[in-house]
Amino acid sequence: MERAEILKRVIGILTEAQDVRRAVESGPDDEDAGPQEAPGVATLLLNEMLPSIRVPADATPQQVASLVAEALGPALHTMVSGFSLAFTSLAIAHDSGRTDVSSIEVLQELALEVEAGTYDEGA
């Protein structure tokens, strides 16, 4: 998966978290009462970002650990970079006293910048 796609999914996870928080703060609706049966958007987005890992049946524990580290390392690095970028964008808006934009609007602007290639590697 390309870096920009992972960054956009990170922004999607944070946007979903905002929606969940608002729903909790507004109180339970009759429709929303009870356990969730389907995975949330955040779970789906995380699953999309993580690569599939094939492990040979005869692999040793050390080989399995190495395969997992090789497969997950780059994806996790990009995910952490995306969360850090989003946090920094939100922190800058907050610290500069911006009251004219919501956190969702900051995340939407960040998504547009990612789409435009502003945060492509080497840019």
Confidence at residue 43, expressed as pLDDT on a 0 to 100 scale: 84
Q: In 3D, which of 87, 92, 121, 99 has the Cα closest to residue 10? A: 87
Rg (the chain; Cα; Å): 18
Confidence at residue 47, expressed as pLDDT on a 0 to 100 scale: 86
Q: Strands, DSSP E only, in the chain?
A: none
pLDDT 10s digits, 98-110: 999 999 999 999 9
Q: Which residues contact 104 (CB under 8 A, 6 or more apart)?
A: 15, 18
CA distance 70 to 53: 9
Range with top average pLDDT, 15-19, 66-70, 116-120: 66-70
pLDDT 10s digits, 52-76: 999 999 999 999 999 999 999 998 9
